[in-house]
Chains A and B, each alone.
Chain A
Amino acid sequence: MDPVLRTNLINLAYLAAAILFILGLKGMTHPRSAVRGNLLAALAMLVAIVATLASQQVLSYGMIVVGVAIGTVIGAILAVRVEMTAMPQLVAIFNGFGGGASVLVAGAELIKVSQMVPSVPPPVAMSVAVVLSGLIGTVTFWGSLVAYAKLQELKQFKKPMSLPAHQLINAGLAVLVIALGFWAVLDPPNVAAYWAICLIASILGVTLVIPIGGADMPVVIALLNSYSGLAAAATGFVIDNTVLIVAGSLVGASGLILTRIMCKAMNRSLVNVLFGVMDAGSGGGSDTDEIYEGRIKSAGADEVAMLFDTAERVIIVPGYGLAVAQAQHAVRELTDILEARGATVEFAIHPVAGRMPGHMNVLLAEAEISYDKLKEMDHINPSFAQTDVVLVIGANDVVNPLARTDPSSPIAGMPILNVDQAKTVVVIKRSLSPGFAGIPNPLFAADNCLMYFADGKQAIVDLNTAIKEL
């Protein structure tokens, strides 16, 4: 085939892929059309891949077959085996692979250019794009691996870690990367500078994510998601490929929006999440003993079941504790029992509940709880006052009234679920230990609050039995 015609056809196929990607994302705007949306996006990827295989730059298919086969097997096994509770880890690690791939592609292209005879220095734009791919992609890769380790709760990564003068080290590394970047751009093609950038960016990826605590993970994952897209877009500039630029920037935009939503839901700036250490226990005058002493009312399954006997309107507030206890199926059963008794049951989902955006929704969907029962915070907040029983499962900071009342609290101004306005609140929790913010929760000591100390799943199973015996 005429090479010009072939190139044109390939570019047209890329255009089709870009359109399909956009239509695919559009399908995600409703649960009913979302499956089709995802399939459209997958089709777009297939179109892009097939078009690329037809490119005259592809001279041998041996390596390609090997690479795709290995990748497909690993990817498929990971995707089919993963528990819904472990979804944040999986997304983190996939993110990392995407970022890593961008780094290697940009590196391969740089090497190719540097080996060209006669050697022609690449345009400045390409050199800049190479530096950006290397930097963003490497930070994504290592940052995602650390995020994975934290979410998987590997022993060494369980606690947020800070080095002495942590921010100073980060700043130093950043300056170093920028200097290397200038070297790479001013003296192209510069393979040595590229790998040096990747090396420093590897350290930076680790030091940026390692001090960030578990409950801030939704922000980190969303941001890394955005980075993996931006790295792909930068690689698109390196190899002059439009479909990479389009798809990469779509993902970059998506991750940024989610990052913003998560930050807003915690009333913290991105800078504060990334670089600020939460000031544990500094909440003015909120001494733990003073708040809890003599005011905690604890109840067992039977007492809690009595409450549900007369309840007409029930709201369940799931938190990360529900995921840890794998209590989603027991909660579904509880919902069924209560609805059979004539009560209305709804779920109040705080935007940062769980370890990634929408984490709770996926767990509840797994237990086949219909998505129209899952209500967003702003939507459900006005109705707590008309609710008979609110059941809080493994959530803490997102229902802490201190956010409204104590301007000196570390969570001051964070939008919360106003569960304290309900007639009765039942909190299922293992102990009175504080949440991520490290502050006591006056809700637990409120007159209308009962503490049901137990493992989340066992608590619900016992509760279900008790209600059935009423």
Chain B
Amino acid sequence: MIELLHQQVFLAQTMADVAAKVSPLGLLIAGLTIFALAVFVGFEIITKIPPTLHTPLMSGSNAISGITIVGAILASGAEETTMAAILGLAALIMATINVVGGFLVTNRMLAMFKKKRK
């Protein structure tokens, strides 16, 4: 029992240490760096996509924007049924529709492009 307590105190300390090292501003700058670089990568790749694939690109990228599902899982996985968890559940349903539907329909369309006659 005491050992468990020790362990927990130790854990809390490690987490506090980690938190202290990353200031909110540091996190923001790291986030903005990632954001800017990803936008550039996006521009570079997307401009190379031929117009014939623009509809699947939209539905596919649409499915990717369902990445909010990650946040929805974190919100709805909280232990007690709070307001936050209920919002999380609603978010999770919407995001899952977006992700599952988006990838499926994109696959359906792209399979038609792949098909060659005779």
Binding site for B on A (CB under 8 A): 2-4, 7, 18, 21-22, 24-26, 28-32, 34-35, 37-39, 41-42, 44-45, 48-49, 52-53, 55, 57-61, 63-64, 66-68, 70-72, 74-76, 78-80, 82, 84, 87, 90-91, 94-95, 97-98, 100-109, 111-112, 115, 123, 125-126, 221-222, 225, 228-229, 231-233, 235-255, 257-258, 261, 349, 351, 356-359, 361-362, 365-366, 368, 370-371, 374, 376
B2 interfacial by beta-carbon distance below 8 Å: no
Contacts A/B (CB < 8 Å), 14 sampled: A25-B45, A32-B114, A41-B60, A42-B103, A49-B73, A67-B89, A79-B100, A95-B98, A97-B97, A102-B71, A108-B88, A255-B58, A357-B54, A359-B55
Q: Known contacts A49-B73, A57-B78: does B108 contact A356 (CB below 8 Å)?
A: no
Alpha-carbon gap, A2 to B41, bound state (A): 34
Which residues of A lie under 8 Å from residue B48 when comparing CB positions? Answer: 29
Contact of A91 among B53, B59, B81 (CB under 8 A): B59
Which residues of A lie under 8 Å from residue B99 when comparing CB positions? Answer: 45, 71, 75
Cβ of A179 to closest chain B Cβ, rounded Å: 24
Which residues of B lie under 8 Å from residue A123 when comparing CB positions? Answer: 24-25, 28
Which residues of A lie under 8 Å from residue B42 when comparing CB positions? Answer: 25, 249-254
Cβ of A102 to closest chain B Cβ, rounded Å: 5
Cβ of A77 to closest chain B Cβ, rounded Å: 8
Contact present for B45 and A42 (CB under 8 Å): no
Contact present for A95 and B62 (CB under 8 Å): yes
Cβ of B14 to closest chain A Cβ, rounded Å: 6
Contact present for A98 and B98 (CB under 8 Å): yes
Interface of A is mostly: helix
Contact present for B53 and A31 (CB under 8 Å): yes
Which residues of A lie under 8 Å from residue B9 when comparing CB positions? Answer: none
Which residues of A lie under 8 Å from residue B71 when comparing CB positions? Answer: 101-102, 105-106, 109, 235-236, 238-239, 241, 244
Contact present for A358 and B52 (CB under 8 Å): yes
Contact present for A247 and B65 (CB under 8 Å): yes
Cβ of B63 to closest chain A Cβ, rounded Å: 7
Contact present for B104 and A240 (CB under 8 Å): no
B1 interfacial by beta-carbon distance below 8 Å: no
Contact present for B78 and A59 (CB under 8 Å): yes
Alpha-carbon gap, A359 to B109, bound state (A): 11
Alpha-carbon gap, A370 to B116, bound state (A): 7
Interface size of B in residues (CB-CB distance below 8 Å):
88
Cβ of A260 to closest chain B Cβ, rounded Å: 10
Which residues of B lie under 8 Å from residue A235 when comparing CB positions? Answer: 68, 71
Contact present for A28 and B57 (CB under 8 Å): yes
Complex: chain B residue closest to A67, CB-CB: B92
Contact of B101 among A76, A108, A376 (CB under 8 A): A76
* B59-88 interface bits toward A, Cβ cutoff 8 Å, 1 = contact, 0 = none: 111111111111111111111011111011
Alpha-carbon gap, A32 to B115, bound state (A): 10
Cβ of B114 to closest chain A Cβ, rounded Å: 6
Which residues of B lie under 8 Å from residue A31 when comparing CB positions? Answer: 50, 52-53, 110, 113-114
Contact present for A358 and B51 (CB under 8 Å): yes
Contact present for B68 and A102 (CB under 8 Å): yes
Alpha-carbon gap, A193 to B52, bound state (A): 44
Alpha-carbon gap, A109 to B98, bound state (A): 21
Complex: chain A residue closest to B76, CB-CB: A63
Which residues of B lie under 8 Å from residue A361 when comparing CB positions? Answer: 51-55
Contact of B28 among A125, A261, A365, A368 (CB under 8 A): A125
Contact of B90 among A55, A59, A104, A255 (CB under 8 A): A104
Complex: chain A residue closest to B91, CB-CB: A104
Which residues of A lie under 8 Å from residue B117 when comparing CB positions? Answer: 368, 370
Alpha-carbon gap, A4 to B115, bound state (A): 48
Which residues of A lie under 8 Å from residue B96 when comparing CB positions? Answer: 67-68, 70-72, 75
